[in-house]
Amino acid sequence: MEEKRIHNFNPGPAALPLPVLKEIQDSFLNFKGSGMSIIEISHRSPLFEEVLGDAIERTKRLLHLDDQYQVLFIQGGASLQFCMVPMNFIKVNESADYVNTGTWATKAIKEAQVLGKSVQVVASSEDRDYSYIPEDIQFNPDASYVHLTSNNTIKGTQWSKYPDTGGVPVIADMSSDFMSRPLDPSPFGMIYGGIQKNLGAAGVCLVILRKDMLDRIPEGLPAMLSYQTYASKNSLFNTPPCFAIYTVQLVLKWLEDTMGGLDRMSVINQRKAALIYEVLDSGDFYKGTVESGSRSLMNVTFRLPDRDLEKKFLDEAIKNDFTGLKGHRAVGGCRASIYNAVELSAVQALTDFMKTFAKKHG
């Protein structure tokens, strides 16, 4: 008898593809006929080297990365990258440009400042509570890099088009929309993201680094805080989180072989988001919190007429097998995180529930 599954709209850790979970289940006790679990095999073994190599190659194929890019797996999540990036790439007497679109961008700026690095906040959407993505930004041509956050899980904003930085390398935190749509990698010196939203189980950060960026890294950094360490050892300087990387590999295989790549995945994600935004725009009961041109395709944030109705909505949602719809504690309200593994049918069921609830309580 198959275990009951509910509609999972959690913001991270988040839904994983059911075929991936089943493959993990089937091979967990005896991985590839080894007589050992994936969490028991040596990270130096040919078995794990195959997992790691396949994850790297699939990442490169899905994003159309050529040999000038290196794929790394680093522990500490995206939050560790907030300090590693300025440590590695802002030299003495240099500065970096940051775009502040709220929460995670704000944290990245703070971490650079804690290190005493020079940071220029060249644009911010704080004036309207981070409800939009800034436009017409003037970047400094001599900046070490431009840092931005591609998608804000808490505020529900997303860059639909990345800005022209005049050749200054872009470093982007893509934790919550990684592999959700096609990407032109050419403007990016580095892309990073925690994988617990679109790509796997919590425990590792996927880093895509353009190799010329390695030449900028100063000597004297602690080994575990230098990208040179990970790049020179193929992410195997110390014991990596083998299970987390294995999960990433399976999700990438699902994306490539089952879903047909990022072009097709992007179309599905747009359809899912459109269904919910259509409900938000169809009346006065639900109200989206983001300006229309900056809406996220991954995290749809909205409010109801009052907090009592929001609580009732969330309580009834759980009773109807919808979980994860509570907004972040910093902002309240409601949020539907509709990452790659959230099926179109789950979103259709959610919008039906939203319409019924509005008709009943509106």
pLDDT tens for 49-60 read 999 999 999 999
Q: Is 159 a catalytic residue?
A: no
275, 128 Cβ separation under 8 angstroms = no
As a whole number of angstroms, the distance between CA 161 and CA 152 comes to 14
Q: Around 272, how many Cα atoms within 13 Å sit in the side-chain half-sphere?
A: 27
140's tokens:
């400094």
**Active-site annotation holder among 97, 117, 177, 197:** 197
143's tokens:
């900046």
- A 10 A CB-CB count for 93 gives 6
What DSSP designation does 235 have? T
Closest alpha carbon to 178 in 244, 123, 252, 257:
252
**Active-site annotation holder among 97, 104, 155, 272:** 104
Q: Which domains does the chain have, with CATH numbers?
A: 21-258 (3.40.640.10), 260-361 (3.90.1150.10)
- A 10 A CB-CB count for 284 gives 8
**What is the per-residue pLDDT across 257-312, written as a single tens digit (0 to 9) for each?**
999 999 999 999 999 999 999 999 999 999 999 999 999 999 999 999 999 999 99
- For every residue of 145-212, DSSP letters joined together read -EEEESEETTTTEE-SS----TTPPEEEE-TTTTTSS----TTEEEEEEESTTTTSSSS-EEEEEEGG
The radius of gyration computed from the CA coordinates of the chain, to the nearest angstrom, equals 21
Listed in sequence order, the DSSP H helices in the chain are 18-27, 46-63, 77-89, 104-114, 227-232, 242-253, 262-281, 307-319, 344-361
180's tokens:
């959700």
Question: Where is 122: in which H helix or E strand?
Answer: strand 118-124
As a whole number of angstroms, the distance between CA 103 and CA 107 comes to 6
pLDDT at 110: 98
pLDDT at 362: 85
Q: Is 129 a catalytic residue?
A: no
| 54 exposure class (CB count in 10 Å sphere: 0-12, 13-18, 19+) | middle
pLDDT at 2: 62
As a whole number of angstroms, the distance between CA 58 and CA 53 comes to 9
Q: Find the length of the chain.
A: 362
**Active-site annotation holder among 117, 173, 254, 326:** 173
Question: For residue 142, how far is the Cα from the chain centroid?
Answer: 28
294's tokens:
């900056």
What DSSP designation does 9 have? -
Segments of the chain with pLDDT less than 50:
1
Non-local CB neighbours of 227 within 8 Å, separated by 6+ positions: 72, 84, 88, 207, 209, 213, 214, 217
The distance in angstroms from the start CA to the end CA of the chain is 40
pLDDT at 4: 84
pLDDT at 1: 47
Non-local CB neighbours of 22 within 8 Å, separated by 6+ positions: none
116, 110 Cβ separation under 8 angstroms = no
Q: Is 197 a catalytic residue?
A: yes
As a whole number of angstroms, the distance between CA 67 and CA 211 comes to 9
